[in-house]
Amino acid sequence: MKPKQKRALITISAVWILTAVLLLFATNSFAQAQARAVGSGNVYTQLQLFSEVLMKLKQNYVTELSDEELIEAAIKGMLDSTDPHTNYFTADEFKDFTTSTKGSFGGLGIQIDKIGDYITVVSPMEGTPAYRMGITAGDKIIKVDGKNVVGMTTDESIKHMRGDVGSTVIITIMRPGVADPIDFTIVREIIKIKSVPYYFKTANGTGYMRISQFNENTSSEVREALKNLEAEGITGLIVDLRFNPGGLLDQAVDTVNEFIGGNKLVVETKGRTRQDALYTRYNTKARDYPIVVMVNEASASASEIFAGSLQDWDKGLVVGRNTFGKGSVQQLLPLSNGNGVKITTSYYYIKSGRCIHKMSNDKRLKGKEVSKEDLSKEDEENHNKVYYTAQGREVFGGGGITPDIEMENEFLTKFSAELRRKNIFFNFTVDYLLEHDIKVSKDPRITDMMMQEFLSYARKNEVDYTLADLDSARAYIENTLKSEMVRKVYGDLEAYKITALQDKQLQQTLALFDRHKTLDAMFEHADSLKKKKR
């Protein structure tokens, strides 16, 4: 069917459905219905017209038309005219949708969304096959096992990517800045979604807690992590929300509760038909040590509510990059046939009055062009809006959460990215430890001989490099080899601690605790940096 024909059928079918609904529920006379329609833009007359066209189409179209297919296309067409987060689900699709907030599932370990025609990686999940192989935010998936997925819905592409545990799938991606498509051969695993995958006490006494997403276990996992960290005598805390795509709103509120106490406003949802205010529900122990929240461009939705709430209540300093700006609220409504529809009903407004939602994101997620000038204008308008925290500090926003202190991102070199893409670190370390009878400590030394073996292994696997490439990537290679060796013997947590040494944003954040012993001192430092920019 040609695109124009399909659009026509979608429109006609939508009208047919609405006409049926009107006829079903009408209790007044035809004349009364017409009178009401005139007052509401003559909708009934237009529905009659399109209903007539529909009937002529069904009577005269060259082939038989499926009522079921037309109705489903009509529903999807109607919802597609709204925003990218308003969607129709079949019963199976609804089951897949709710799985991500429950326990575990089989797959690759990536958060994806459809941006334009492309299924795009929002974030790889830590500790999963996709994460280990170097799939990264921004990668556009164009094929799955050779099948073109460009233009597919997110749900359709997921069906192709998921499969039996232990089976292999080839993902072909387009990466910004890389001319040719890249193939990743990945073995599917059970993806266990742990909300707090890592927490530990750092060398300077600061606690570190990584929250990867907000699922049904988040608040309980955070409480457990805080209990253990505080038992170790931490003097401060870093909450890392970078690449956290969000999740369950109630869990975000309950997690905020752990830091600001009970009966405090966290977020309001305001829409056309209803408004709600969500408050913390229970009293918690006072946490007087300084807290810093790390965010970046991939921190979205519930993670933005968490970061913005700690900022608004002056319980945490926010550092990093401006967050994504996903501040719309969706409600899942069941349908009579067992399917469901997810409808955007309102926007999030955090305690200071800031609306998290960035309107241009809706256009971009639907594949519409948004110029750099439009983006700059939107950002400027948002950052010119001044709001105030509970203690009267100035914060800026709308369209995401603006950090108190900005920190630049760090990007892998092309050589380092290629080593990760081909899974060289993981595969080499497995072979190396099998061939060499060595005892691995928690801080292993990378010898010159091991480095030479690694580089030879990389060349055998068609990873070419120059001396300049090696010089720029040597520290990263040594650190990653250490991390992979430690992972095999001591597990993900100890490996993550080593990886953190290469994380410049994290190291900059840790340095704040060395220079400023209280949260107020950190606020003063952030304010002085803002004044220098003005």
Catalytically annotated residues: 301, 312, 326
Q: Which of 367, 338, 360, 340 is nearest to 86 (CA)?
A: 340
How far is 367 from 372, CA to CA, in rounded Å? 15
For residues 266 and 351, the answer to whether their CB atoms sit within 8 Å is yes
Q: Going by C-beta distance under 8 Å and a sequence separation of 6 or more, which residues neighbour residue 30?
A: none
CA atoms lying within 13 Å on the CB side of residue 457: 19
- The answer to whether residues 125 and 109 touch, using CB atoms and an 8 Å cutoff, is yes
Evaluate whether 428 touches 422 at the Cβ level (below 8 Å): no
How far apart are alpha carbons 512 and 534 in whole angstroms? 22
Estimate the crossing angle of helix 3-25 against helix 67-80, to 10 degrees.
90
Compute the half-sphere exposure of residue 451: CA atoms within 13 Å on the CB side of its CA: 15
The residue among 279, 276, 248 whose CA lies nearest residue 262 is 279
Residue 124 DSSP code: E
DSSP string, 358-394: -HHHHHHHTT----HHHHHHHHHHHHT-EEE-TT--E
Residue type, 217: N
Contact indicator for 171, 161 with CB cutoff of 8 Å: yes
CB 2 within 8 A of CB 13: no
Phi, psi of 208 (to 5 degrees): -125, 130
Rounded-to-integer distance, Cα 22 and Cα 13, Å: 14
Q: Which two tokens stand for residue 485?
A: 């060796």
Q: To 10 degrees, the CA torsion angle through 23, 28, 32, 34? A: 0
Distance CA 165, CA 128 (A): 13
Q: How far apart are CA 72 and CA 66, in angstroms?
A: 10
Quick check: helix, strand or coil at residue 528? helix
Helices (H) and strands (E) in the chain, counts: 19, 21
Parallel, antiparallel, or unpaired: how do β-strands 189-192 and 104-107 relate? Answer: antiparallel
Side-chain-side CA neighbours of residue 302 (13 Å): 25
The span from the CA of 129 to the CA of 111, in Å, is: 13
For tokens 């790390």, what's the residue? Answer: 294
